[in-house]
Amino acid sequence: MQLFFIAATILLILKIFYGNPDTYYLKLFFDLIIAFAVYFLILALIRFENSRPSSPLSLVLNVGILLAIMFFIILFSDYLLTNVFENINQQINNPSLVYNVISVLYLLVVVSLVSFFFVILRHLFYRNQAKNTRIYFNTMLVFFILASLSKNFFDSEHLSFLITTFFVISILLMIFNSIRISWIAFLTKKEKLYLLLLSFFITSLFIVNISNSSGENVYSQIIMGFSPSLKQFNKVVMIYGSIYFMFLFFTTLFHLPTAEAYDRKAQEVTSLQYFSKLITEVLDFNDLAETVTDITQKLSDSKASWIIWRNGSRHNSVAAKNIGYVESDKISNKILEKISIEDLTSTKTLNLREKVVGSDPDNSYSVVSVSPIKTKGITHGILVAAKASGQMFTLDDLNAIETFSDYASVAIENSRLLEESIEKERLEKELDVAREIQKKILPLKAPAVPNLQIASVFIPAFEVGGDYYDFFKINDSKLGFVIADVSGKGISAAFIMAEIKGIFETLSKTIETPKEILIKANEILWHTLDSKTFVSAAYGYFNLNEKKLTFARAGHCPLYLFRNDQSKIMKPSGLGLGLSERDYFIDNLEEYSIDLENNDTIVLYTDGVTEAKNDLLEDFGDKQFLKVLHNNINLNAEELSNKIIHEISVFSSGHEQYDDITLVIFKWQQ
């Protein structure tokens, strides 16, 4: 930019001193200076244009505005400048100085305008991202310069053919370079219409300006006074401009019919891009469904869109766009009369036999498209798009919806997986709490009691199984014990365990007999537990002084007694706790009492032991359990329990532990 100003200043000084150049070398010198000025200005403008992001449309508009300015400058300069010069001649004693200054400024304005046209045209040209863009343009530029300079230097009879040659080649190159204007394709229909109008005016203005500037007027006098080459360059650029914009006009005209289709494709691409971004960002099912129907409706140019989502054996409308749920349900039902969700594998159109008219009679629907939303080959829902009555789905519409429903399927699957993993995490947290509760409820270690070995093992399942056992030292001669299993699993089972612990701890202190304790416990639980939850339990106590074991069983696994290589399954009758009301429970409850002998082994367990499974889903089973006990009955209580747990873990090594395992072994030693 500074270089441009330096060149301009030199020009001013030269003009003041020499006036109009008349010698050949002076002409050459003037031309050189102007050429430098133009060159530096163009460089500066290119840098400026590159630095700001501009759409071709705004560039075109700029050209239009500058052309209009140029038009007015040429138009009014005749009248205005002549008047000014006359006034100057009359009033000032050194008129040529002022005249020169004004003409240099005038020249600079013209130079700026020409440079600007050139730069913008160059910018528009470079929008074409074809091969060898640069080479084509530079070749043209070289001929521009040759055509311009030749005007000055070959202006004699026998060399004038050169001027014409360069000029013609320039024009040919201009035409060649104007043919491919690819950026039009990326404009919307509205922009194209706008461009059509604009390019028409610009072409006209270019032509008007060319004819205006070539005549004998003040404008051409002033320019010729400096450099015929500049005038020629100006002309060449103007011609290029008019050719370019003429081509632009026609190209735009030819693009108009396909503009709508292009707009649609562009919308599709944008939607899909937007959506693929969404897939990774939106993970909430409902948000996603809203977006899916929103895009579907726009993409297929439909009146309304919604999703029919299967929910067990029922289905409901989700994320209805531009339609009420009542209407969408009505149409959904009609759709499902014709096809079932599971059987839909590809996008189809369906004609509704009769129009569905909404609350607003303007909203009536007669044709819908249906696309499956499927994950892992199973169709979970239908993406519906409905056209207003009288409209049809085009093949393009259907292709767009089909593609889109595939995207939607992936996205919905993602969100579902996430929801599942969140749910899983929540469940795991919940189970952590449940296990924590269970751990706190169960006794840390068995109490030390004379003549009685006590061993207990508890192995929690991943999903807390609701097993509970406890020992109560009622007094020095009495040791109470309980083993129980709450139906159900997880945190609800853990809370019930806590309740049971409270019940038995309290009752064991106030009530003596196992039967009465269980009756009372049943009464409490009958009222507190919901109807499908119950507890199996066995309660008993050792009377150490009387060497006696008394117990009762409320729906729990039997107790095993091993005495002298003989085993006895002790299974007094009794209903589970919380299953029946007081009287019925009492009627069916028995209490057993046995006198203890030396080495009597009493085994209590929960069904987690006998129902431990191997990888063939076979149970560990009562028989095997009894056999292992039999074979190892001479071990002490601790060793025996370890042996059993070892056997169970070997047996079920291929299978996940499904239920809590509880084993309590008493060994009477006199």
Partner 1 sequence: MADFSTSVKEKGDISIINLKGYLDAHTAPTLENNFTQLIGENKFKIIVNFEDLAYISSAGLGVFMAYIENIRDNQGDIKLTNMSNKVFNIFDLLGFPLLYEIYKNEDEAIRKFSGS
**Contact residues for partner 1 (CB under 8 A)?**
485-489, 530-534, 536, 555-558, 571, 573-576, 579-580, 584, 588, 607, 611, 617, 619, 658-659
Residue nearer to partner 1 on the CB measure, 401 or 496: 496
Is the Cβ of residue 327 or residue 659 nearer to partner 1 in the bound state?
A: 659
**Tally of CA atoms within 13 A in the half-sphere of 316 that contains its CB:** 6
* Distance of closest approach, residue 579 Cβ to partner 1, in angstroms: 6
Task: Output the smallest distance, CB 610 to partner 1, in A.
Answer: 10
Kindly report the CA angle at 358 between 353 and 362, in degrees rounded to 5?
Answer: 100
Helices 95-126 and 218-226, axial angle in degrees (round to 10): 90
Q: Could you tell me where the beta strands, DSSP code E, fall in 248-393?
A: 304-311, 314-321, 348-357, 364-375, 378-388
Q: Which is nearer to partner 1, 352 or 579 (CB)?
A: 579
Cα dihedral sign, 124-127-131-134: positive
Tell which residue, 15, 10, 31, 22, has the closest CA to residue 229.
31
**Closest distance between partner 1 and the C-beta of residue 308, in Å?**
21
d(CA 532, CA 527): 12
Give the nearer residue to partner 1 in terms of CB position, either 216 or 530: 530
CA pair distance 237, 117, nearest whole angstrom: 7
Smallest separation (angstroms) from partner 1 to the CB of 536: 6
Q: Look at residues 312, 306, 256, 264 and name the one whose alpha carbon lies nearest to residue 286.
A: 306
Q: Is 153 exposed, middle or buried (0-12, 13-18, 19+ CB in 10 A)?
A: middle
Strand, helix or coil for residue 479: strand
Nearer to partner 1, 119 or 535 (CB): 535
Q: Of 650, 575, 578, 662, which is closest to residue 620 (Cα–Cα)?
A: 650
Provide the minimum distance between the beta carbon of 576 and partner 1 in the complex, in angstroms, as a whole number.
Answer: 4
| Closest CB 581 distance from partner 1, rounded Å | 11
CB of residue 465 to partner 1, shortest distance in Å:
9
Burial of 486 (0-12, 13-18, 19+ CB in 10 A): buried
The distance of closest approach from Cβ of residue 489 to partner 1 in the complex, given in angstroms and rounded to an integer, is 5
**Whole-number Å distance between alpha carbons of 350 and 344:** 12
Q: Are 450 and 667 in contact (CB under 8 A)?
A: no
Tokens of 510: 């106030």
User: Alpha-carbon Rg of the chain, whole angstroms?
Assistant: 49
Spatial contact of 341 and 315, defined as CB atoms under 8 Å apart: yes
Nearer to partner 1 by Cβ, of 127 and 571: the residue is 571
Q: Which one, 480 or 488, has the nearer CB to partner 1? A: 488
Smaller CB distance to partner 1: residue 293 or 652? 652
In single-letter form, the type of residue at position 48 comes to F
Reduced to 3 states (helix: H, G, I; strand: E, B; else coil), residue 24 is helix
CB of 463 to partner 1, least distance (A): 8
Strands 378-388 and 452-459: unpaired
**Euclidean distance between CA atoms 399 and 386, whole angstroms:** 15
Q: Which lies closer to partner 1 via its Cβ, residue 529 or residue 602?
A: 529
Minimum separation from the CB atom of position 632 to partner 1 (A): 24
Q: How far is the CB of 636 from partner 1 (least distance, A)?
A: 29
CB of 431 to partner 1, least distance (A): 13
Question: What minimum distance in Å lies between the beta carbon of 617 and partner 1?
Answer: 7
CB of 301 to partner 1, least distance (A): 42
For partner 1, the closer of residues 31 and 660 by Cβ is 660
Closer of 480 and 574 to partner 1 (Cβ): 574
CA torsion through residues 524, 526, 527, 528, sign: positive
Q: Which is nearer to partner 1, 341 or 493 (CB)?
A: 493
Query: Three-state secondary structure along 258-299?
Result: HHHHHHHHHHHHHHHHHHHHHHHHCCCHHHHHHHHHHHHHHH
Alpha carbons 449 and 476: distance in angstroms, whole number:
9
564: left (phi over 0), alpha (psi -120 to 50) or beta: left
Q: Are 338 and 369 in contact (CB under 8 A)?
A: no
Percent of the chain as helix, strand, coil, to the nearest 5: 60, 20, 20
In 3D, which of 122, 154, 127 has the Cα closest to residue 140?
122
Question: Nearer to partner 1 by C-beta: 423 or 546?
Answer: 423
Cβ-based nearer residue to partner 1, 229 or 487: 487
